[in-house]
Structure 1
């Protein structure tokens, strides 16, 4: 059973822990489970000292846990480990796992299943060991192989972009974590998030891919949209595209987050089909590679405005006809 199941500040202890188990406010407390006493603070092994792994390892260290090892393959990750995890030995993955009560797996989504299965096949996991991954796409099902070794799977995804520098540690205070865990382990997962400075947001296993899709669609595709807008402005001769676009985009994003579809402005929302046609002509001249993105987003915008009642059906029809012509 878990060495880590009495959580300070939670309204109830999880299954298997007596109500009188010792607690300490704001951190994981010592517990006695199956007759064994385990320390409140954990030894932590970081598998993948990339931008996310190194920062979260440092955050756990700052919370009082002891990082005992980190795996780092590239020169950049070794330098990052030295900067964020000073004094922590860099070792191979089996060594890192063997020395940790909490294993933090911070590897790419597609690499995670193979890594977990490979370590399971060698018997690397230990009973009572917490195995935590940071993937947004995956819930705890990807960690099912660790269950055979009586290890405890958690999925904690930090919903922020990382620079891999110490500045990220302070930014964790504004970071929500997508949390997926077995119900008895939910308090453990949420306590770890709080210790790192973040806010836990529960995501059911069945909803994990949709959760990640929403974040990626909003944050990742925004980067592409911004880059394309800057490209058009630069080709139009604007001397400082970022200075021109920045305030507008900040305001648009803030309004969209506060108001949803009601924040929509611009030619599509007004039904200005002629303006949209002119935009497409200029894109043909200046940036034809961006035209397809513009058409797709203009179509999606028109349909949302129509559904929301902000665009009249006849205006929407004119816009959609123009956009359909551009796709032929």
Structure 2
């Protein structure tokens, strides 16, 4: 780790989450080593202008903090594959962003001497710089071994989030809560906008924006059962 606390950061995953996490950490003063290739290089360039594109194993070997932001079904295999080629480095921080997993999924990196962390910012990522503003009002679920949990909490704060510790065994329940809230919101809003569109209301999403925002805000603040 750098003496001044600033880290060389490598991002594995160029979808909606990875580039935004990289931009937030760069904004906190960390140095971006690079990112793996993705299917939308123009969007990544807009969020991380001038960022180097590197293979995952080379990126890991050069980074002090590796952020793994890939789909759930790819996470375990990716971490194991990098272990098989000896990419993980002793003392290196490895942080994934998946809500469903704690740090057990990073065990292959731990075998290589890396320090495992799990940090999930609870926002719906668009993959654009608009997400940086969302992070400033968000919470983040953090999981890690007790001795290094403060590092996970500090990284969440540097992303702009308020950290909330979630136990390893509670990550599946946490992921269920996140999935339920996200699916419900999309379903209800989609149904309502469809009805308004059907009766000729132009821009039904804009029409409902203030109503939906205020209703959700009230629901989130009201005590359960009232």
Map of 2:98 onto structure 1? 135
Distance 1:54 1:210, change over 3 A: same
Map of 1:190 onto structure 2? 153
TM-score (normalizing by structure 2): 0.92
Superposed displacement of residue 153, structure 1: 0.3
Superposed displacement of residue 120, structure 1: 0.8
Distance (Å, rounded) in 2 between the aligned partners of 1:211 and 1:165: 25
Asked if the contact 1:48/1:70 (under 8 Å) is kept, the reply is yes
Q: Helix, strand or coil for the counterpart of 2:120?
A: strand
Asked if the contact 2:15/2:38 (under 8 Å) is kept, the reply is no
- Which of 173, 192, 201 is residue 239 of structure 1 equivalent to? 201
2:42 counterpart of 1:71: no
2:117 counterpart of 1:157: no
2:14 counterpart of 1:49: yes
Structure 1 residue runs of 5 or longer lacking an equivalent are 5-29, 31-38, 264-328
- Which of 142, 148, 164 is residue 179 of structure 1 equivalent to? 142
Distance (Å, rounded) in 1 between the aligned partners of 2:205 and 2:139: 28
Deviations 1:27-73 (A, max 9, x none): xxx3xxxxxxxx52111100012221101111111111111111023
* Equivalent residues in 2 for 1:200-219, closer than 5 Å: 200-219=163-182
* Equivalent residues in 2 for 1:287-298, closer than 5 Å: none
2:79 counterpart of 1:102: no
2:38 counterpart of 1:81: no
Q: Which has the larger radius of gyration?
A: 1
Distance 1:216 1:86, change over 3 A: same
- Which of 211, 214, 226 is residue 251 of structure 1 equivalent to? 214
Distance (Å, rounded) in 2 between the aligned partners of 1:184 and 1:89: 33
Asked if the contact 1:69/1:99 (under 8 Å) is kept, the reply is no
Relative contact order (C-alpha < 8 Å, sep 6+): which is higher?
2
2:134 counterpart of 1:167: no
Map of 1:18 onto structure 2? none
Structure 2 residue runs of 5 or longer lacking an equivalent are none
Superposed displacement of residue 218, structure 1: 0.9
Count of equivalent residues: 225
Asked if the contact 2:21/2:159 (under 8 Å) is kept, the reply is yes
Distance 1:243 1:63, change over 3 A: closer
Compare the two structures and name the one with the higher helix fraction: 1
Q: CA RMSD in A?
A: 1.8
Distance (Å, rounded) in 1 between the aligned partners of 2:219 and 2:106: 36
